[in-house]
Chain A
Amino acid sequence: MKFLPRKPVVEAIFIIILAAVLGFGSNLFHPHKVKISFSRPPIEFVDDNIPAQSLLDVGINITEPTEEPILLITNQVVTLLKMNQAVLLDARSEKEYRKEHMPGARNLSHNVLLKNKNITETLPKDKWLICYCDGPGCDKAEILAYELIVAGYQRVYVYRGGLEEWKNWSNSQTETEAQTDAK
């Protein structure tokens, strides 16, 4: 390493080692500790195998406000929609919403909510509010969900798969139907 003086490099290595010791050490006792593993921790707060009808039995007590939005998977979203128990909220911009959105979804972006807090009064309190955006890499749905919880809504959910997973699911349904018709 001729282009760098030796001293700063040695110092940097010591600082990195010190940071690693402090980081891993504090992580052992941290209330929000990170799980060090090769695989991602599951993102669903709710067990995948639990049907949507039973969600109330797994820790979602509607008499007490939830502190964090519950993440739902596609089959739970589908069931809730079929039961007519949920309202879909598209958390993206109006432009994106106009381009495409999930069937029956209402558009409510975080920015619109910030400008007009009264807009939440138009949302039903007796139904589950399911927020979604583009897909797992987008966090607009979670931002909106937190705002709704702050606004007093107690049944706020996030469909983390969003439009991306919904389209995959719709396509798979269409293919299954086509195969059934062919038979």
Chain B
Amino acid sequence: MQNKKWDYFITILRWLVAATFIFAGAGKILNPTQFAVDIDNYRMLPYLLVAIMAVVLPWLELLCGLFLIFGKWKNGAALILLLLSFIFLIAISTAIVRELDISCGCFAVSPEAIKIGYTRLVEDFINL
């Protein structure tokens, strides 16, 4: 009984994480150019890598989310999302330390999108 409850809890948690990344990925797929600008604003990567990330990363988030929901290849998807969350955490932390005044690029991609800050950092910790 205890195990069953734990399984339900894990499943719900998995779906929540999946929904977060599906939402994040879908928003970026709609406007990869703006997402490239958001990544570039972090000033961490050469432009070629920025462009590749802007094209691939949204689909990676979306696919991982879908795989997590449907339970197929869920361990592989979870591994990727763990690595991604860790990378996002580092990127946001360095941006805060460098006092960059930029949009996060986490969910919506537009100049009105949420600014980078400690709230984003905490969110990323929770994801991790």
A residues neighboring B (CB under 8 Å): 4-5, 7-16, 18-20, 22-24, 26-27, 30, 32-40, 133-134, 137-140, 142-143, 146
Instruction: Point out the residue from B73, B102, B103 that lies within 8 Å of A15, measured CB to CB.
Output: B73
A-B contact count (CB 8 A): 107
B75 within 8 A of A: yes
B47 within 8 A of A: yes
B80 touches A16 (CB 8 A): yes
B56 touches A19 (CB 8 A): yes
Minimum CB–CB distance for A29 against chain B, Å: 12
A146 touches B32 (CB 8 A): no
How far apart are the CA atoms of A15 and B111 in the complex, in Å?
Answer: 30
Contact (A23, B56) CB under 8 Å given A8-B75, A12-B76: yes
Contact (A11, B73) CB under 8 Å given A16-B80, A26-B29, A37-B47: yes
Please choose the segment from B6-14, B38-46, B85-93 that sits at the chain A interface, where 4 or more of its residues have CB less than 8 A away. B38-46
Main secondary structure of the interface of B (DSSP, over half): helix
How far apart are the CA atoms of A10 and B76 in the complex, in Å?
Answer: 7
B48 touches A37 (CB 8 A): yes
Minimum CB–CB distance for B97 against chain A, Å: 14
Of A4, A23, A39, the most chain B CB neighbours within 10 A belong to A23
* Size band of the interface chain B makes with A: 35 or more
How far apart are the CA atoms of A39 and B48 in the complex, in Å?
Answer: 7
**27 A–B pairs (Cβ distance < 8 Å), ordered by A:** A5-B75, A7-B76, A9-B76, A11-B76, A12-B76, A15-B80, A19-B63, A22-B63, A23-B59, A24-B55, A24-B56, A26-B29, A27-B55, A32-B31, A32-B32, A32-B33, A36-B48, A36-B52, A37-B51, A39-B47, A134-B101, A137-B43, A137-B101, A139-B103, A139-B111, A142-B111, A146-B111
How far apart are the CA atoms of A14 and B67 in the complex, in Å?
Answer: 12
A140 touches B34 (CB 8 A): no
Contact (A32, B47) CB under 8 Å given A15-B76, A23-B59: no
Residues of A near B31 (CB, < 8 A) are 32
How far apart are the CA atoms of A16 and B76 in the complex, in Å?
Answer: 10
